[in-house]
Amino acid sequence: MRASVLILLVCVAFALTVCRADDWPQWRGPNRDGVWRETGIIEKFDKPQLDIEWRAAIGPGYSGPTVANGRVYVTDRLTEPKQVERVLCFSATDGQPLWSYTYDCPYEGISYTAGPRAAVTIDEGRAYSLGTMDNLFCFDAATGDVLWQKDLWKLYHAKIPGWGIAAAPLIDGNRLILNAGGEHACVVALDKKTGDEIWKALDDPAQYAAPVIIRQDGRQVLVIWTGAAVVGLDPASGAEFWREEMKPSRMPIGIATPVFDGRRLFVSSFYDGSLMLRLKTDEAGRPMAERLWRKVGPDEQKTESLHCMIGTPMLKGDYVYGVDSFGQLRCLNADTGERIWESQKAVPKARWAAIHMVQLQNRLVMFNERGELLFGGVSPEGFEEFSRAKLIEPTSDQLNQRDGVCWSHPAFANRHVYARNDRELVSASLAAPRASN
């Protein structure tokens, strides 16, 4: 009897290890690092089109879905009979609408008007939504009741960048950290439960890239890429640790999230190329940064190193992998910025062609702007495609070129993929078949 119980416990523990399931509660996953840690995922697609488990009608928008506690969250925009943005919540199981919230939101001075950019952040039963015009809401994640709200545009006299506020809210302890674009308040930290201000910092123009928290030699550092520089702040106080200027040649256009490998920090933008920093501490133990290299090509087609647009690159070992200005998947030497190889196999060549990359154990899951999901691998030797299937159709509100695009980052949770275009939100299973006894 005792042996049987022991065997049962071992089997349960093994099953939990083999079939781990996770939520995707914020931009780029649970740790905001573009890593999908679930197990029990298929190795390849068995047909050219993924089977869609459910579809839910939505309006246009750039924001990717997030998933937590059996719910999927996304935002969109409607223009008739008036301009509004919406925060929507659906059942992750069957796509049934659970709640929605609509607020007036006339766009002023915004280019590319499809809809909201920032993914909804879920934390401790609350949903945080930041709209294109700096409208911030904190909802009860289960019911959609508004717990508190702020008009950051008015509150901080923000200067909204040309493509709108785009950086997803970041939770750090009791703080809600936002790239708000305000006057002497480019970045602000609010109490996540009440919305009360904790601190504000920097007089830089706003940027589109999402903020991240890293550990720099054992110390928490908030990395914020503004419209003028890459800056490391104390997340508790907003005090500046270090700053590396990166003034734009034409306009702020840093969209890709900064990536960090424990010692190097990398950013890349469409017009202004790439910057690699080495992060360390000074003799007093204070975090500091030094430029390792910076490379900028003469124009958007004759690029050096990497000129990212939408997709966030990755640092893997001694190499950088990312997507250049016209969709070229590239490998760079992380210490020098030298290009090792490039490939156009993952997405057709086009200006701003996009691929979102997520690491899943020893392979990549890639979602390209044609609405295709790919399994592949990258190494210093090149790119290898393992399998590919169509997930969702491109639509034209996000970009009225090349028969539309799919620019929104998908979510990976419950061994499913959740993706949106300008008409619908879809869910498809990526679970591996269970082995028969």
pLDDT at 17 over 60: no
Candidates 204, 171, 166, 209; CA nearest to 187 is 204
3-state secondary structure 143-203: CCCEEEEEEHHHHCCCCCCCCCCCCCCEEECCEEEEEEEECCEEEEEEECCCCCEEEEECC
Neighbours of 365 (CB within 10 A): 20
Mean pLDDT score of the chain, rounded to an integer?
Answer: 94
User: pLDDT tier at 223 (50, 70, 90 boundaries)?
Assistant: very high
**307, 271 Cβ separation under 8 angstroms:** yes
**128, 138 Cβ separation under 8 angstroms:** yes
**Burial environment of residue 28 by CB neighbours within 10 A (0 to 12, 13 to 18, 19 or more):** buried
Model confidence pLDDT, tens digit, residues 393-404: 999 999 999 999
| Structure confidence at residue 9 (pLDDT) | 42
pLDDT at 125 over 90: yes
pLDDT at 435 over 90: no
User: pLDDT tier at 20 (50, 70, 90 boundaries)?
Assistant: low
* Tokens at 83, concatenated: 């301009």
pLDDT at 14 over 70: no
| Structure confidence at residue 44 (pLDDT) | 97
Residue type, 387: S
**375, 43 Cβ separation under 8 angstroms:** yes
- The whole-angstrom separation of Cα 280 and Cα 263 is 7
| Structure confidence at residue 368 (pLDDT) | 98
